[in-house]
Structure 1
């Protein structure tokens, strides 16, 4: 067993040994009480790598005493599934832990689903992807619980490390290790909420440490060297990447410069520069909009510069763009107006284009009644330029206001013009 990685050896043997995820499997949760009373429901466990999906499945199996089987959907075949079905028939009931369940194909589903439905197979599926996007509805419908795991807290990770240091059978307890509380915290911080990374780093630190009088002396520079980049996680095609993009945009929208810069840093570490640039450009028009129209041009220049420069220099113009957007006045009035107009069209609120607005650049237009258009440039008002009072919307929509100004930044001036022009119209 000692040949197995420390993270593997330290998996909880029952649900009482689970560290963290107390909102899912703490002693006061319904799931804990069900398992303690001998009932294990089928479920989906959703969350980032290393935060306990596999450990919870093993802990549930250990507490339930049911036969436990594990498959990975990325390489399991129909024969593997059929073998589980045979085992279920022999045992009466088994637990199947299916990792990467979002990759389960239809043939595998057709073989397995009836047995999940009749209860002979308790399915515990694990996925790093959003189950509502990536897990087949047939699977979801048979899993009563969809449980979203959280990244472990610093205290949770420290507790796991201390457990490993004290456990003589499975952990490092049989060794004498000199490590400070500050060093344990440094390892825990480096893992960034990932239990597997924390335990793997702890094991590596131990084996890289100098030995004096039969004692391993942990040194800070060893931790620093081994911990490089350990906190970075992000699949460019995965849910976590899109969650980071969402967090970046919402932080900018909320004018939180520190959070926005943090999420930008995380996104750039994942390596998809083009996707980051696209999202920043959208944000300039979606969230800043008419309150500061110049931001669109600024962000476009920054993103084009970033793509031309490449990393690591690309981070410089992007950081400027993000902070400018954070601290800029904000308005979503323009695209909200467009969305309102699109919604009106989908609701059937349409009408004929007024005759005087229709194309009249052809012989016969007068005969069709396409006349009466007043050319605004012929009637300037003050310093605004040309304007004339005439109907532009169809009769059925006349008087409808899709645009609702936001009194912020540059749009405050635009809003005053909008209201002034409305006052010129004849009732």
Structure 2
């Protein structure tokens, strides 16, 4: 019986054995052709856990037959880096696979980077975090290739499972296993594009099953219980977590209720109720806004209920909030107007506050020329309240329009009032 986990044993030895990732290492890509010709550029591999970053690095080394050293940036010290440099001096060229590269510290970089620059060390860094956010620019600048690996399709994972079941040397091929096609595909689906998770689940299922007449029989009850224990991929506060938040907001903004509920479910399975609640409250004002002003307080009430209930019951008020926002009229005019005003200030478009708007609650204000403000409430205008024509913007900004109303939902009424006041200004 093998001591290493199945997922470790089934790592590909060459790039031709890589499952999926055709956009990165397919036979028609430049990277594939370079590696086949013996040239390996330094590169960063970015993607979710289990998509094959480590497997690709090992496969590149196996294809080129170059010396290969694997380190983890969370554990490697200066001595480890110096050993890699020494190996590079002896052999002429070494592939260094550095996992969790975004945790590489400056001291390690200073030791390693000159040798990456002169080509004696080929750096293959792997990270689950966005390299443009979390990888030091000094590392990025020395990596000619930054490749984002995608999650494997169910078909890719199913192919890996079949390969593991048939492989007699590295896989489970020496064991007679009664696993139906439907059960195998259920494993592939449960893995959610994570090859390591799929192979681990397969191995656990086989070990948890009983042998009858020399055949290991997989029972649905065993398989289902193990699938229920499979965690949701993506760490809290990692890149994938923020991608989920982004996808949730964009789905609500696009009024896709099913997609929004799917991403909410994913986020709640990660368990960060605070971050989810904060994003929902922002969305209620950013994307619904003046088109339906009642949504903000309703979402706040749902969030407060969720916080008081806690998970899993918190999902109930939050689901209501998501559906409400998806199907509500939408407007971003208010915050877009504020952003336009902020941009104007940053561009230097400022001016002196009109004298009649300046503070007059002190002795001597009139001597400074402050005063002359007309109180709008004393000038009734229909059912609106009060309005009087006077300038409020600095003189050099008079006529500037930041707010551009949207004819949606409740804002349609507000837009009519806005246009009416603008007409009064011109009369």
TM-score bracket, normalised by the shorter chain, equals over 0.9
Alpha-carbon separation, structure 2, partners of 1:58 and 1:228: 31
Q: Is 1:313 equivalent to 2:313 in the alignment?
A: yes
Q: How does 1:190-339 map to 2 (within 5 A)?
A: 190-339=190-339
Q: Distance in 1 between matches of 2:50 and 2:236?
A: 18
Q: 1:330 to 1:229 in 2, by over 3 A?
A: farther
- Superposed counterparts of 1:79-228, under 5 Å: 79-228=79-228
Of 211-220 and 154-163, deviating more is 211-220
SS in 2 for 1:125: strand
Q: Can you list the C-alpha shifts for 1:196-226, whole angstroms capped at 9, x where unaligned?
A: 0000001111112222221111121111111
Distance 1:338 1:229 in 2: 47
Report SS of the residue matched to 1:385.
coil
Flag structure 2 segments of 5+ consecutive residues without an equivalent: none
State how many pairs are aligned: 427
SS in 2 for 1:143: coil
TM-score (norm 2): 0.99
- Residue 102 of structure 1 and its aligned partner are, at CA, apart by 0.4
Per the alignment, residue 66 of structure 1 pairs with: 66
Following the alignment from structure 2 to structure 1, what is the Cα–Cα distance between the partners of residues 228 and 128? 23
Separation of aligned partners in 1, 2:380 and 2:426: 17
Q: Deviations over 1:19-59 (max 9, x none)?
A: 01111001111100000011000000001111100000000
Provide the C-alpha distance between the structure 1 equivalents of 2:131 and 2:315, rounded to a whole number of angstroms.
33
The answer to whether the Cα contact below 8 Å between 1:192 and 1:231 also exists between their aligned partners in 2 is no
Q: Tell me, yes or no, if the aligned pair for 1:389 and 1:426 is still in contact at 8 Å.
A: no
Question: 1:425 maps to what in 2?
Answer: 425
Deviations 1:65-116 (A, max 9, x none): 0001000000100000100111111100010000000000011001100011
Tell me which residue corresponds to 1:38.
38
Q: Secondary structure at the match of 2:186?
A: helix
**Aligned equivalents of 2:198 and 2:59: distance in 1?**
19
Deviation of 1:229 after TM superposition, in Å, equals: 4.1
CA shift digits 1:139-185 (9 cap, x unpaired): 00000111111110000000000000111110011111111111111
Runs of 4+ in structure 1 displaced over 4 angstroms?
none
Work out whether residues 102 and 129 of structure 1, in 8 Å CA contact, stay in contact via their aligned partners in 2: yes
8 Å Cα contact 2:49-2:234 kept in structure 1: no
Rounded to whole Å, the distance in 2 between the matches of 1:363 and 1:77 is 69
TM-align CA RMSD: 1.0
Q: Distance in 1 between matches of 2:103 and 2:296?
A: 40
Asked if 1 retains the 8 angstrom alpha-carbon contact of 2:255 and 2:326, the reply is yes
Deviation at 1:426, TM superposition (A): 3.1
- TM, length-normalised to structure 1: 0.99
Alpha-carbon distance in structure 1 between the residues aligned to 2:396 and 2:130: 43
CA contact (8 A) 2:151 2:193 kept: yes
Deviation of 1:231 after TM superposition, in Å, equals 4.9
- Matching residue of 2:396: 396
The separation in 2 between residues aligned to 1:229 and 1:362, in whole angstroms, is 70
> C-alpha separation between the residues in 1 aligned to 2:279 and 2:151?
25
Please give the alpha-carbon distance, in whole angstroms, between the structure 2 residues aligned to 1:113 and 1:426: 66
Q: What is the deviation of 1:423?
A: 0.6
